[in-house]
Amino acid sequence: MSETTETAAKAADDKRKKVPQNRSKHEAALIHAAAVLFRKQGYAATGTAEILKRSGAPRGSLYYYFPEGKEAIGAAALEAASKVATRTFRELAGSAESPAGFVQAYASLLAGWMEKSDYTDGCPVATTVLETVPHSDLITPVAKASFNHWQRAVSDMLLSHDWPRARVRATATLILSAFEGALITARVEKSSRPILDTADELSVLLKR
């Protein structure tokens, strides 16, 4: 039986029976709630009780889906956030007509997000990373992979615009580091200025 058929059958079942499929209903909610809270207030400052409350899941479900506890949900939240960022990088890279254009587009996006959250958000990865790497064995590898994916995405973008091969790695690193840092500064300054200034100067470099 193919997967799609099975899914269809299950969906049909759900309609027939009053009580719906509960599988994974709470799992996704837990990851999402954790990601939001960790990004806003940090890993250690966020208690499991708060995650539970926001997700609507009972305590039992947390330890059912994440037997290793808080660290495991931290890793899951990090991975989810990282994937979103990677996808965004790839999409922007596809539509940008130059490295400078890419940087400007990403800066606009970040500035919009920060403004929308009234500068209470930040990089979802940085917050957790600074509190857990390297001592958490569950989170550290996820963080490493996340930065690797980002680095590859930006490198590919540069290569597709014929950026000098010898500089691709360093340039990609600078772009990522600069935005990572600009997010911190923007939060403290409660302004998008650092993000936009950073992008402008990066553009000068990238236009050569």
Partner DNA sequence: AAAGTTATACAGATCAGTCTATATAATCAA
Partner DNA sequence: TTGATTATATAGACTGATCTGTATAACTTT
197 binds a copy of itself (CB under 8 A): yes
Q: Does 47 bind DNA (CB under 7 A)?
A: yes
Closest approach, Cβ 105 to a copy of itself, in A, equals: 17
Q: Does 184 bind a copy of itself (CB under 8 A)?
A: yes
In the list a copy of itself, DNA, none, the entry touching 87 (Cβ below 5 to 8 angstroms by class) is none
> In the range 69-128, which residues lie near a copy of itself by CB under 8 A?
119-120, 122, 126-127
> What does the chain look like in DSSP terms, one character per residue?
--HHHHHHHHHHHHHHSSSPP-TTHHHHHHHHHHHHHHHHH-STTS-HHHHHHHHT--HHHHHHH-TTTHHHHHHHHHHHHHHHHHHHHHHHHHH-SSHHHHHHHHHHHHHHHHHHTTT----HHHHHHHHHTTT-TTHHHHHHHHHHHHHHHHHHHHHHTT--HHHHHHHHHHHHHHHHHHHHHHHHHTSSHHHHHHHHHHHHHHT-
According to CB under 7 A, which one of 39, 46, 122, 195 is a site residue for DNA? 46
Instruction: Assess 187 for contact with a copy of itself (CB under 8 A).
Output: yes
Nearer to a copy of itself, 152 or 187 (CB): 187
User: Angle, to 10 degrees, between the axis of helix 25-41 and the axis of helix 70-95?
Assistant: 80
Q: Which stretch binds DNA (CB under 7 A): 12-20, 102-110, 140-148, 175-183?
A: 12-20
Answer yes or no whether residue 49 interacts with DNA by CB under 7 A: yes
Q: How many angstroms separate the CA atoms of 102 and 95, rounded?
A: 8
Number of CB atoms found within 10 A of residue 115's CB: 15
Contacted entry of DNA, a copy of itself, none for residue 179, CB cut-off 5 to 8 Å set by kind: a copy of itself
Binding residues for a copy of itself, per CB under 8 A? Answer: 41-45, 119-120, 122, 126-127, 129-131, 133-135, 140, 143-144, 147, 167, 169-171, 173-174, 176-182, 184-185, 187-190, 193-194, 197-198, 200-202, 204-205, 208
Binding residues for DNA, per CB under 7 A? Answer: 10, 13, 17, 19-27, 46-50, 57-61, 63-65, 67, 69-71
